[in-house]
Structure 1
Amino acid sequence: MINNIDFMNYNLINGKAISNEELEQLSNSNEKFFLKVFYEKPETIFKFFPNTLTFNKEINKDINYSQLALKTNDIYLSNPSNFNDPYDCGIYINREKHWNYFINYYARLMGIENKDNSKELLIEKLKKFFDKTLDIETSINFNYCHTEEERLRLSIFIYKVRNYSFEKVPVPDKICYGILKALNDDFLEKKNNLTDKFLVSCLTTEKDNILMWSHYANNHKGFCIEYDLSEAKNNYLKLNEEEKNTFNNLFPVVYSENRKEIINYNFNGDTFLSWYLLGLLRKYHVWSYEKEWRLALLKQEYPDQIIKFFPIKAVYCGCKMSKEEIEKIEEIIREKNIDLFISKIEEDSYKLKFELNKDAKFN
């Protein structure tokens, strides 16, 4: 039972408890993690739709994007900043550790030794650099930078410190103020990195959860689409590159008690999985009833925020959907190999039952 899990020591992934130690081991091995997820991917997966109209300013017309998704078999990818959970897709970075890390980082790029690892000493040395330097365009020494990225980061940091130190603020030490402001920019940049880089679509392994219908299907007036993953899972090598990318980036959410702190602050290939696991895929365990899987893709690769998804197997209409709306769904799936179910309220329990609408399928 989910309620009996000790979330201080265990996490919930795809309905299974996994200890903090096991999760840490998986996080440290891309291959093990991806293999585990691959074999545990479900045969079918569900997504809820509100079936409501949204005004499109570009064409000056109301559009039912839920029904459009049913027609085109596309899935819309959302910006995580729009999610209802304020912690969703966020990461935890300790501000003090972050500042210490980057003070040492920029000091190294400037050739400043820090044998005692003293933040105050480093700030004083940085202050002396800015006190003596009038024309920073010609005085930056890039000899300690090993890559073009480091050269760029050092330049930006130095210019930010100088510009912030010119602000009209009532502080006794303008350069120290500029350093801390520049470091805080780095902090906020890292903190918002996932939100800026990724697009997400939320799916689930359950179609009969009453809360899901209430929250994501317009209080049971919407519908739920069942997508068939069986062919992709069983014949993975036959998929094209786009299909493989979609399948590979479908992951179960990790439900936990505590937020895990990011240790490595640089976003690169080596730390990608850690950011992915600790941010995009991690949620507080009170959301575990959703049994969520996430499709997460890089924003730069999908500027239209739409992706073609796997075949539709069935559609489930909410128990409060009007007859007129049901008929619209019937018309959309006419002559397609898609089953249509109508949800009904059980009389003797708090459960939904789904009855097959045989008239909706004509092939």
Structure 2
Amino acid sequence: MGFDKESWLREQLTIAFQDSSQALQFIEEKKCKLNNKLYKYCPISDTDDIVQYPIENLKNDIIYMSRVSNFNDPFDTYISFDLNNTFENFIPKIIEMNTELDGELKPLVSVVLSLLMAKRPLKEDCLNNPQLFEIVGVDGREAKQVQQILNGQFPKIEAAKEAYQKMIESVKTEISNGIKKSREIINEKYYISCFSTSSNNALMWAHYSNKHKGFCIEYDLEKTRNTNFLINLYPVLYSKKRATIPSNLFDITATNNIKISTSNESIVDLLCALLTKSDIWKYEDEWRLLLYGGTMGVNDNKFKIDCINKIILGCQIEDKYEKILTQICKTKEIHLSKMLLDENEYQIHEEIIF
């Protein structure tokens, strides 16, 4: 059986959030899964008269952090939202806290809502719903008598339906504002940098290193003392279905002032949603550094790193950039290698330079 990445991630996050002393164990688990190595593919532009920022970042031991709104996949981190599912989860709490509903009307509203949410014929279903029999106190009577009594109850059921519509309209605006607020926070406050578990992925070289003209950085996780880097490093989860904003992200203690929840469960669900992308990208085998801007060492989209171990040159890199990167490696006393085309197969392989 394959490794269930999402179950492992949820379990580790839950443990770490419940007991911060377990964060170090989570770090060790991650390092073990990665065999202590991570890779970042870097492009070198074909335009000579511009600053080659990936090279400058390498010189300065910098990782560039992108805002999620800059990603090339429009679905990436743009979490969808299932409004019906959210209402189904919220409705029992909303009904319970609604002071405008009297005690008799609350159970009627609950039954009516369950039918409306299922888009079932209201009257026919109500007449055959045993919960309504209990509400009007006619359990066990003849079916004909029950129907007669329930027909008499329909003014109350219609009132329950009207109460539902009024209640939902008032809550809908608050939930929509909550969705907007959560997306703004994600887009403006979270910064992401992307890595891979492999350095010889030909598609990655083509897509992210300007058709093999760039380079790839190897990071040795054993060398870093930057705990922010290790703690906030997570595997990407791949799925055919879009990630949805978890309904438990919203605190509806007050329906006129819905807030974003900060419970451990909500944060775990949100992180997993942020880390989920389409399975068409599965070949990337991506891990992400996910940081909340302003609090985790991000400065002008830059994050300091201390564990660069090796530079791998693309097989199509220009001579002048090969010389520049060779000198950087010598200055930093890190390893250097180069990818070469295989003579017999459609593959690339790494050749050590020093």
Q: Shorter-chain TM-score: which interval?
A: 0.5 to 0.7
| Deviation at residue 310 of structure 1 after TM alignment | 3.0
| Deviation at residue 211 of structure 1 after TM alignment | 0.3
Letter of the 2:276 counterpart:
R
Q: 1:321 to 1:189 in 2, by over 3 A?
A: same
Q: 1:27 to 1:315 in 2, by over 3 A?
A: closer
Q: Is the 8 A contact 1:54 1:65 kept in 2?
A: no
Equivalent residue in structure 2 for 1:200, among 175, 183, 192: 192
Q: 1:54 to 1:269 in 2, by over 3 A?
A: farther
1:67 aligns with 2:55: yes
Secondary structure of the residue aligned to 2:317 is coil
Q: 1:303 to 1:339 in 2, by over 3 A?
A: closer
Q: 1:105 to 1:197 in 2, by over 3 A?
A: farther
> Structure 1 CA distance, aligned partners of 2:170 and 2:227?
47
Q: Is the 8 A contact 1:90 1:192 kept in 2?
A: no
1:316 aligns with 2:312: yes
Residue in structure 2 matched with residue 331 of structure 1 by the alignment: 327
> Structure 1 CA distance, aligned partners of 2:281 and 2:243?
17
Secondary structure of the residue aligned to 1:227 is strand
Residue in structure 1 matched with residue 78 of structure 2 by the alignment: 90
Instruction: Structure 2: give runs of 5+ residues left out of the alignment.
Output: 17-21, 114-158, 251-260
TM-score (norm 1): 0.66
Residue in structure 2 matched with residue 17 of structure 1 by the alignment: 3
Q: Is the 8 A contact 2:57 2:63 kept in 1?
A: yes
Instruction: Structure 1: give runs of 5+ residues left out of the alignment.
Output: 1-9, 11-15, 56-60, 129-175, 233-238, 359-363
- CA offsets 1:178-234 (integer angstroms, 9 cap, x no match): 7644543333334555334311100011111110001100111111111111234xx
Residue in structure 2 matched with residue 42 of structure 1 by the alignment: 35
Residue in structure 2 matched with residue 281 of structure 1 by the alignment: 275
> Structure 1 CA distance, aligned partners of 2:276 and 2:176?
25
Q: 1:329 to 1:212 in 2, by over 3 A?
A: same
Secondary structure of the residue aligned to 1:37 is helix
> Structure 2 CA distance, aligned partners of 1:82 and 1:308?
21
TM-score (norm 2): 0.67
> Structure 2 CA distance, aligned partners of 1:104 and 1:93?
19
Q: 1:22 to 1:354 in 2, by over 3 A?
A: closer
Equivalent residue in structure 1 for 2:231, among 224, 248, 257: 248
Residue in structure 2 matched with residue 76 of structure 1 by the alignment: 64
Secondary structure of the residue aligned to 1:211 is helix
> Structure 2 CA distance, aligned partners of 1:38 and 1:102?
39
- CA offsets 1:98-155 (integer angstroms, 9 cap, x no match): 3455677677777444543366859748969xxxxxxxxxxxxxxxxxxxxxxxxxxx
Q: Is the 8 A contact 1:27 1:274 kept in 2?
A: no
Q: 1:22 to 1:244 in 2, by over 3 A?
A: closer
Q: Is the 8 A contact 2:223 2:307 kept in 1?
A: no
> Structure 2 CA distance, aligned partners of 1:110 and 1:122?
14
Q: Is the 8 A contact 1:51 1:221 kept in 2?
A: yes
Letter of the 1:292 counterpart:
E
Percent of pairs with identical residues: 27
Residue in structure 2 matched with residue 133 of structure 1 by the alignment: none
Q: Aligned Cα RMSD in Å?
A: 3.5
> Structure 1 CA distance, aligned partners of 2:99 and 2:66?
43
Q: 1:315 to 1:304 in 2, by over 3 A?
A: same
Secondary structure of the residue aligned to 1:343 is strand
| Deviation at residue 24 of structure 1 after TM alignment | 6.4
1:186 aligns with 2:178: yes
Secondary structure of the residue aligned to 1:231 is coil
Write the mapping of 1:7-156 to structure 2, written as runs, cut at 5 A.
16-18=2-4, 29-30=15-16, 34=26, 36-37=29-30, 39-52=32-45, 62-99=50-87, 111-113=99-101, 114-115=106-107, 116-117=109-110, 121=160, 124=163
Q: Is the 8 A contact 2:31 2:221 kept in 1?
A: no
